[in-house]
A and B are shown apart, each in its own frame.
Chain A
Amino acid sequence: MRQSAGPTLERTDEADTYYLNMGPQHPSMHGVLRLLLKLRGEEIVTCEPVIGYAHRAHEKMAENRNYIMFIPNTSRVDYLSGMIYNIAFCQAIEKLCSIEVPERAEVIRIIACELNRIQSHLLWFGTFLLDLGGITPFLYCFDDREEILDILDRVTGSRLTYAYGRFGGVTMDVDQDFLVRTLAFVKRIRSRFPMYEKLVGENVIFRERCEGVGVITPEVARQYGVSGPTLRASGIGYDVRRAEPYGGYDRFDFEIPTRTAGDCMARFEVRMAEMEQSCRIIEQAVAAMPEGPIGPKKLVQRLKPPEGMFYFAVESARGHFGQYILSDGSNTPLKLKMRTPSFSNLSAMETVLEGTMVADTIAIVGSIDIVMPEIDR
């Protein structure tokens, strides 16, 4: 007999069932998610997500460094929408300390964030197909995504973990070349959507794998606080950009794509539609790009936040990203709590995965687009 490594490897209490530890080392667990599955054959009896394998104590770090020193940490919380997190942190502090942001900086931020959103959705699209066994779309997506990384790399100096935001603006101004390349990219990605639709969206096998699989009902979504594209695929059109406009999003005309089915296919369609909406925002932003400064006239030397509690939310590529800041008036937060969307989205899996097959598990977990470092923080 083998020494059991903890209670999880014990016999199950039910006949004809067994435990399977999927992850933390597994090809399609998107990093270090561990699913403790109780299986009957290939059918899932219960599923328990186990998290914490990528915990880096970002929230604790925030308590030990002042606000400006925390800027580089933010993009490492969710490395796929690093720009959005980075800008969101700056926006939260600006709101807290009432710092004015020039219009040009706001528009640049919106372009950067929407490019980041497209980049994140493209990566999700590729890895989702990889989970379903289709390897080729992954490389097509990375080809497209590379262009975004190059564009952002030119102004920010990083490809993934940006530190582009500053309190009251951004670090670097964009030039004409940036705008030209951004528009060229929008044109290019638009020409690629029909191909993705043909290669994947209309593919019989893909539809068979996705339609009616992993249905998240609006009730379950509300109970668990699901947000982002996953929520909008369940028929609830909640988007922070529309519900509580921030950073100048109210100036732009875009739609919130929703679907009512709540299955993997709906989540796929919502994300594909969202990329198109991001393209629309980018086009409008480039057209409306004002001249002017990109930061405050006088550099913010020392922050003087008021005492008290403060909450600020943005829409990341995965959903409602909120920051709860407890301030004692010094330039270091007493507590910075991040409400990350993937955590709530993953929590809903316990209900959704019951009664599905092992192959469906991979499809469903893939379709909600989780980023483990963002859950563990």
Chain B
Amino acid sequence: MPTTLIEQFGNPAIAIATGVGGVMTVLSLNALFLIWLERKVSAWIQRRMGPMEVGFHGVFQTIADMLKLLGKQLITPKGIDKPLYHLAPIVVFAPVVAATSLLPFSKSVAISNIDIGLVLIFVFGGFAVVGIFMAGWGSNNKYALLGAMRSVAQNISYEIPLILSALAVVLMVSAVGREVPIDGEIVALNGLNLAHITMAQVHWTWFILVQPVAALIYFISVLAETNRAPFDIPEAESELVAGFHTEYSGMRFALFFFAEFSNMFIGAMVATVLFLGGWEGPILPGPVWFFLKTYALIFIMMWVRWTYPRLRFDQLMTFCWAILIPLSILNLLVTALVIKVVQS
């Protein structure tokens, strides 16, 4: 089992400080890397060079941009709802930090190991919607409000197939993990514990092989949850200018941007844990495999973004309610049925 920080340090205060510091470092470096990667991937797809000036192949471009954003004036529009407007970037960003601290990066590296980790991940995921709506409502702008309304409807809808497809995995874990030897003892695995989900896959097989439908639904829902194209409707540039963060400038905008990329990162990490066997892989150490799989998924997300046009809002909702949700319910029922039949 992963040793958590509290077990490592004994003192909760030091553990929390280390955990938050570690998560922030990982997230910041990751966002810097992902923004650069996004630019490079889009450039490759569009037969351009991408950033080339700052550092080798523009690796420091994002840092330069961050410095520029830091120097920008923070424009506060008139007629805003002050508490909502100022709190929104923080409300969007804080759950990202909390969610990252739940993930098991390898057999021995995790910040925390909670028995209901999967539930908490979805709870924190749902939090971002509140922040987005605060931003849209608070900034006294019709485009922002439209973007926020779209965002709330979209995120609430797509949480259902997201959770239903994850539930299929939870059932699988409980079914295959009744007696798994861990560190010399026989343990019954808990389907809501993220480390246990990975254990079940190490013990048996990757869930993407036995749950391909759930994996696909999960991936599509993650695209929608993180507002990535072709579901980037809340911030549809050609329609709503910049959607819910139209009125945010400088570092306030950077926080939203940061949260978006970090959300993508978390979505891919959870998908890695649920379907791609987490840290499992030959030769290389656990965290390396974990991040390799995560970045492979992120690469696919970028690939999709730079290939497809955007769906219309009603088409997006129809796709969710008429196709994804029935399909994920069916998948869950079939999974439960098969488990019952095999067990009896």
Q: Which residues of A contact B (CB under 8 A)?
A: 2, 18, 20, 26-28, 42, 129-136, 139-140, 143, 199-200, 203, 205-206, 208-209, 357-360, 362
Contacts and interface: CB of A to CB of B under 8 A. Distances in A.
B324 interface: no
A360 B312 contact: yes
A359 B238 CA distance: 9
B314 A357 contact: yes
B219 interface: no
Contact of A208 (B142, B240, B312): B312
A136 B230 contact: no
Contacts of B237: 27-28, 133
Contacts of B143: 20
Interface in B8-61: 42, 45-48
Contact of B313 (A2, A205, A357): A357
**Which secondary structure dominates where chain B touches chain A?**
loop
A133 B232 contact: yes
Contacts of A130: 238
Q: Which of A131, A140, A205 has the most CB of B within 10 A?
A: A205
A68 B239 CA distance: 43
Contacts of A134: 307-310
Contacts of B312: 208-209, 357, 359-360
A348 to B, nearest CB: 21
A18 B308 CA distance: 32
B315 to A, nearest CB: 6
B47 A2 contact: no
A358 B309 contact: no
Contacts of B42: 135-136
A5 B230 CA distance: 36
Given A133-B310, A199-B307, 4 more contacts: A20-B142, A132-B238, A133-B230, A134-B310
Nearest to B143: A20
Interface of B: 42, 45-48, 78-79, 142-143, 146, 229-230, 232-233, 236-241, 306-315
Nearest to A137: B309
Given A42-B146, A133-B229, A203 B308 contact: yes
7 contacts: A42-B146, A136-B46, A140-B46, A200-B309, A208-B312, A209-B312, A359-B233
Contacts of B239: 28, 358-359, 362
B77 to A, nearest CB: 11
Given A143-B47, A205-B230, A357-B314, A136 B306 contact: yes
A257 to B, nearest CB: 23
Contacts of B48: 139
Given A133-B230, A359-B239, A2 B309 contact: no
**Which secondary structure dominates where chain A touches chain B?**
helix
Contacts of A27: 237-238, 241
B315 A208 contact: yes
A141 B312 CA distance: 24
Q: Which of A136, A199, A203 has the most CB of B within 10 A?
A: A136
B14 to A, nearest CB: 46
A266 B209 CA distance: 42
Contact of B311 (A139, A200, A205): A205
Contact of B306 (A135, A357, A358, A360): A135
Contact of B309 (A18, A132, A143): A132
A205 B307 CA distance: 11
Given A28-B239, A133-B229, A133-B232, A205 B146 contact: no
Nearest to A360: B312
A2 B79 CA distance: 8
Smallest CB-CB A-B distances: 6 pairs: A133-B310, A134-B309, A28-B238, A139-B46, A132-B309, A359-B312
Contacts of A208: 311-312, 315
A158 to B, nearest CB: 25
Contacts of B314: 357
Contact of A18 (B142, B238, B240, B241): B142
Given A18-B142, A206-B309, A360-B312, A133 B46 contact: no
Contacts of A357: 312-314
A279 B15 CA distance: 70
Nearest to B311: A205
Q: Which of B48, B233, B309 has the most CB of A within 10 A?
A: B309
Given A133-B232, A133-B236, A359-B236, A205 B142 contact: no
A32 to B, nearest CB: 15
Contacts of B47: 139-140, 143
A246 B314 CA distance: 47
A2 B78 contact: yes
Contacts of B146: 42, 358
A129 B306 CA distance: 12
A208 B310 CA distance: 10
A298 to B, nearest CB: 50
A199 B47 CA distance: 15
